[in-house]
Amino acid sequence: MRTITVDQVIETVAGLCQEANFRLGEDVLAAIERAQDEEISLTGKDILQQLLKNAEIAREEAVPICQDTGFAVVFLELGQDVHIAGGDLYAAVNEGVRRGYRDGYLRKSIVDHPFNRVNTGDNTPAVIHTRIVPGEHLRIIVAPKGGGSENMSALKMLKPAEGVAGVKKFVVETVRAAGPNPCPPIIVGVGIGGTFEKAALLAKEALLRPLGTPAADPAAAALEKELLETINGLGIGPQGLGGQVTALAVHVEVHPCHIASLPVAVNLNCHASRHKEALL
């Protein structure tokens, strides 16, 4: 049994909220640089250059990459031999978000009720996903998610007979319909299988994988390559103004499913793919 205090959790979450919003991952930067070489649209090339410059300013001046500093989505992998001391774990995560967003001058984008819509003023509550794992560590991943790309995400329960062709069609149509709205070049997270909510969570988790790392499942990895090629053939391009780089990556995660079901979830992310993690 190992003890981790809520104060450690608060401090870690607060730091990760800021780091995620100020520092674009090296994998994303490398992907944008590659995209700049590949893009044939001059406007597209210029936009990608602006995104690189933007990331540099954000990193150097500790200002947010994007003004939409997101819904704080927090993944906890809690070792079953950890004892959380000093208070409520989820309250600690929310306190970390509160401090991180306040001290980092991050935008508060959460409203208290879907109809009432009064800003909570501190970007809480976070959306927290917890997994209990073996061991005596707590892994915390903070993944702030912007509204623009989240709004263009979609889920569909396909018939098993529609198969992989049906999955491809749904993913490509989701990206096509989204067009310029999710701020391309995007990262496409796809969750296939499981139940309704499992597919959605898989799609979100797919966005956390380092860009360019293929799926562990060979069929999923093959589908990623095929989807990326089709999506980049749509012509949407950087910011939807026309070009060859619409997506930087497609990440697919699969899960066993019911004999009657073929759920597919597509979670879109803008180029500001923000997620940072720490291991306590």
Question: Footprint of another protein on residues 219-278 (CB under 8 A)?
Answer: 233-237, 239-244, 270-272
| The token pair that represents 107 in the structure block | 């935008």
To the nearest whole angstrom, how small is the minimum distance from the Cβ of residue 243 to another protein? Answer: 5
To the nearest whole angstrom, how small is the minimum distance from the Cβ of residue 146 to another protein? Answer: 9
- Residue 112: count of CB within 10 angstroms of its CB: 12
Backbone angles phi, psi at 165, to 5 degrees: -65, -40
Residue 76, strand partner residues: 130, 140
- Give yes or no for residue 86 binding another protein (CB under 8 A): no
| The token pair that represents 180 in the structure block | 């310029």
Question: Shortest CA distance to 151 belongs to which of 195, 192, 193, 186?
Answer: 186
To the nearest whole angstrom, how small is the minimum distance from the Cβ of residue 249 to another protein? Answer: 16
Question: Shortest CA distance to 21 belongs to which of 65, 71, 52?
Answer: 65
* Mask for 23-52, x = binds another protein (CB under 8 A): -----------------xxxx--xx--xx-
**Integer Cα distance of 17 and 78 in angstroms:** 19
- Give yes or no for residue 53 binding another protein (CB under 8 A): yes
- Give yes or no for residue 148 binding another protein (CB under 8 A): yes
Q: Which spans of this chain sit near another protein (rule: CB under 8 A)?
A: 40-43, 46-47, 50-51, 53-54, 57-58, 61-69, 105-109, 117, 119, 121, 147-148, 151, 179-181, 183, 233-237, 239-244, 270-272
